[in-house]
Amino acid sequence: MKILVTGAAGFIGYHLCEKLISLGHEVVGLDNINDYYDVDLKYARLNELGIIRDSISFNNLVDSTIHGLQMQFVQMNLQDEMELPKIFADHKFDIVCNLAAQAGVRYSIEKPMKYVESNIVGFVNLLECIRNFKVKKLIYASSSSVYGMNVKVPFSTDDNVDHPISMYAATKKSNELMAHTYSHLFGIETIGLRFFTVYGPWGRPDMAIYLFADAISKGNPIKVFNNGKMSRDFTYIDDIVNGIQFFLAKTPNENSLNSSNVNYKIFNIGNGNPQSLTDFISAIEFNFSLKSKKDFLSIQDGDVPHTWADISQLEGLGYNSTTGITEGIQKFAAWYKRYHHENN
């Protein structure tokens, strides 16, 4: 299949490109390579795909030096309504996987317009291209953050998600609503995947595991919010990517949210096994053979104390996450040490 992966220089998008190439698909990656976090890490991920930094410029398609025409990349803003249709005109995509977004809960409180630009305007622009160029299927990243302050656990796709507590969550919920509209009006199959705290090699520097590893290895204190009374359904990157791949070929006859729209689907992808933050920190300490210094702080605005994915819907379809934190953190730590050793 020919697949457009947006957010290809990002954490999950990069891993998805690697997976799709290994399966023999043709991939066009798109990313604006914004500086929300260290761009060197984004270029390093692209380099792994054979996309060389010096060859990249805005709105120009480049071929992979490793995979040739099987992996191409374009630096582009999703919200650029003049340029985005050109990519669709030049390629007949079977599927679009939208992983590009302005991520991060806390940053969305400081810079809400960044979220409106990428996650709202960019998403509608993408939907319009999918509609106009008759792409049959859209798989897009939603988030566990849509569950907001819900207290009933585990979080189920049947639960009410009308109470987001950050702009990030509000934009992700908006994506689901807009996907519903386009599925209904134009018969596009849309699959929204609510990811739960993803971690692993090539991960994001603004996320807890990376922040903790960085601080612990440098002897700096780590910030432990809500005085450590937090738990997360940490999900290893391979389980997320395998989950996306599961939906590429499949059209599961499973419709969530009791919608009458058969083309519209929402699923959780989580581990289904939440871990306390303190256990998570201990596992990182173990892998770095160092003890952390902890600054205990109150919970941050926009953040929730607990997440836990109800994964019964996916299990029912035959998909399971298989990586626990012992194995997952060990793989992250091995990558972190190698990457920082090579880049220092």
Written as one letter, the residue type at 344 is N
Comparison of 189 and 233: residue with beta carbon closer to ligand NAD: 233
Q: Tell how far CA 130 is from the center of its chain.
A: 20
Q: Is 168 considered catalytic here?
A: yes
Q: How far is the CB of 302 from ligand NAD (least distance, A)?
A: 14
Distance of closest approach, residue 101 Cβ to ligand NAD, in angstroms: 3
Residue nearer to ligand NAD on the CB measure, 12 or 224: 12
Backbone Cα Rg of the chain: 19
Q: Contact residues for ligand NAD (CB under 6 A)?
A: 7, 9-13, 31-34, 42, 77-79, 99-103, 118, 122, 141, 143, 195, 197-198, 204
Task: Say whether 80 sits in a helix, a strand or coil.
Answer: coil
For ligand NAD, which is the closer residue by CB, 53 or 293? 53
How far CA 276 is from CA of 145, 153, 224, 333, in Å, comes to 18, 15, 12, 19
In the complex, the smallest distance separating the C-beta of residue 253 from ligand NAD, rounded to whole angstroms, is 25
Return all residues near 95 (Cβ < 8 A) that are at least 6 apart. 1, 3, 4, 135, 136, 137, 138, 139, 248
Residue closer to ligand NAD (CB basis): 99 or 266: 99
Smallest separation (angstroms) from ligand NAD to the CB of 95:
16
Cβ at position 235, least distance to ligand NAD in Å: 8
| φ/ψ (deg, to 5) at 141 | -80, 120
Single-letter amino acid code for the residue at 178? M
36 or 290: CB nearest ligand NAD: 36
Nearer to ligand NAD, 42 or 306 (CB): 42
> Of residues 115, 140, 168, 264, which has the active-site annotation?
168
The closest residue (CB) to ligand NAD is: 10
Enclosing H/E stretch for 85: helix 84-90
> Strand ranges (DSSP E) for the chain?
2-6, 26-31, 61-64, 68-75, 95-98, 137-143, 189-195, 198-199, 221-224, 231-232, 235-236, 264-269, 275-276, 293-296
Q: Please enumerate in sequence order all residues whose Cβ is within 8 A of that of 63, keeping only pairs 6 or more positions apart, or say none.
A: 69, 71, 72
Cβ 102 to ligand NAD shortest distance, Å: 5
Cβ neighbour number for residue 245 with a 10 Å cutoff: 19
Give catalytic residue positions: 168
